[in-house]
């Protein structure tokens, strides 16, 4: 019998009011860039993508991640960027607070310690707003958003006919 696995990642999830504001920004950018707008309920900032994890590894993963401690922090989402190679328009921060890359590094270290190394590029704090975007020379102007980050989340990604569906599995408060 095949082993059951879940496709997992760790992220920061904006509170509903901020998610709504960011979704509106995505709609404004969509008018200039086209593409596909990310659904409001899927907007997040990925800290680490784990990938397929066997069901039997979940208790160990939850225990390991539950031991991590990190401070609360604020960040200003103040820059739009575009990755031409995959046509993604993203929102990020000019100056990431030190606690953000530290949290991502701590998570990667703990995952590697239990044999779940995170593959992929170096951590770049961003939120995908549009996919398949065709960005003009100048990106849209927008009002920066302040984000008081108070928690981080383990999320399962399930593919559906309408795209990815994200199901939070665990949440940890920042100190």
User: Which of the residues are catalytic?
Assistant: 44, 126
Query: Tokens 């239990």 appear where?
Result: 114
Total length of the chain: 175
CA distance 106 to 109: 5
Alpha carbon distances (Å) from 166 to 34, 53, 159: 24, 15, 9
CA distance 30 to 52: 32
Cβ 22 vs Cβ 151: under 8 Å: no
CA distance 63 to 170: 11
Nearest to 83, CA basis, from 128, 146, 44, 51: 128
The widest CA-to-CA distance across the chain, in whole angstroms, is 53
């Amino acid at each position: 019998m095949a082993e059951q696995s879940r496709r997992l990642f760790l992220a920061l999830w904006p509170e509903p009011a901020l998610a709504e504001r960011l979704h509106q920004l995505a709609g404004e950018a969509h008018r200039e860039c086209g593409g596909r707008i990310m659904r409001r309920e899927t907007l997040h900032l990925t800290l680490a993508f784990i990938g397929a994890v066997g069901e039997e590894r979940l208790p160990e993963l939850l225990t390991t991640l539950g031991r991590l401690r990190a401070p609360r922090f604020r960040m200003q989402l103040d820059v739009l960027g575009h990755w031409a190679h995959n046509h993604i328009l993203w929102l990020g921060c000019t100056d990431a607070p030190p606690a953000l890359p530290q949290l991502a590094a701590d998570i990667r270290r703990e995952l590697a310690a239990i044999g779940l190394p995170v593959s992929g590029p170096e951590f770049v704090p961003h939120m995908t707003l549009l996919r398949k975007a065709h960005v003009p020379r100048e990106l849209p102007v927008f009002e920066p958003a302040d984000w008081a980050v108070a928690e981080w989340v383990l999320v399962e990604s399930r593919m559906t006919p309408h795209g990815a569906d994200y199901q939070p599995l665990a949440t940890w408060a920042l100190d």
